């Protein structure tokens, strides 16, 4: 499985591609940051992010795009920019028919380090170790994008089994009312004159 991880942000949008399957060694295919100038108009910044993500999708042809789920922050302006960059990444993936997976920061941290409260340095160190890199990717947004991709590769098999179980349960529940009703035969009673 090849996954493009996206750590959304307006100024720095981290991107990283990881390939592999759960339980086996993973390989980094690419890592970087899509940057936009802080003083540029918002619409132009979003276009720049779209163009950057499209280049990554063209070059690496991932099967899945894993995006950090936007969570509430104290700074509304920051969370709005993050949400807008996140939406651009999801749009680019959806336009190509790619699966989009959202993971919370604590899910990513827990998957990569074992603790949902790990700091950026711990995440960077584990990404470096897991991908057998010489040094942690810089800036932290790039390491976070790789962590998102790793998280998705490791969590996808369990998520797929869970989704299949839920779907199977829904089918069984939908069939249950029909199975419990006795078949009724309506004999039409004809009138005689």
Cα 130–chain centre separation: 19
141 given a catalytic annotation: yes
134 given a catalytic annotation: no
Token pair, residue 28, equals: 């980094």
List Cβ neighbours of 21 (8 Å cut-off, separation of 6 or more): 1, 153
Catalytic residue chosen out of the listed positions 61, 68, 107, 134 = 68
List Cβ neighbours of 171 (8 Å cut-off, separation of 6 or more): none
Catalytic residue chosen out of the listed positions 7, 41, 63, 134 = 7
68 given a catalytic annotation: yes
CA distance 9 to 183: 59
The CA radius of gyration of the chain, in Å to the nearest whole number, is 23
Q: Assess contact for 24 and 83: CB atoms under 8 A.
A: no
| Helix (H) or strand (E) run with residue 53 in it | helix 42-60
CA distance 3 to 156: 11
Give catalytic residue positions.
7, 68, 141
């Amino acid at each position: 499985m090849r996954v493009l991880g996206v750590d959304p942000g307006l100024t720095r949008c981290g991107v990283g591609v990881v390939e592999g399957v759960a339980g086996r060694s993973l390989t980094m295919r690419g890592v970087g940051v899509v940057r936009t100038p802080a003083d540029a108009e918002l619409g132009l910044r979003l276009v720049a992010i779209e163009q950057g993500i499209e280049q990554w999708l063209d070059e690496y042809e991932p099967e899945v795009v894993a995006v950090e789920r936007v969570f509430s922050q104290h700074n509304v302006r920051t969370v709005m920019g993050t949400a807008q960059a996140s939406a651009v990444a999801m749009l680019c993936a959806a336009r190509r028919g790619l699966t989009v997976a959202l993971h919370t920061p604590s899910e990513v941290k827990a998957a990569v380090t074992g603790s949902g409260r790990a700091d950026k340095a711990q995440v960077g160190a584990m990404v470096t170790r897991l991908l057998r890199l010489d040094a942690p990717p810089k800036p932290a947004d790039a390491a976070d994008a790789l962590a998102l991709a790793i998280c998705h590769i490791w969590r996808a098999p369990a998520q797929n089994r869970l989704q299949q179980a839920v779907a199977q349960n829904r089918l069984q529940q939908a069939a249950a009312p029909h199975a419990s009703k006795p078949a009724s035969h309506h004999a039409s009673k004809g009138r005689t004159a």
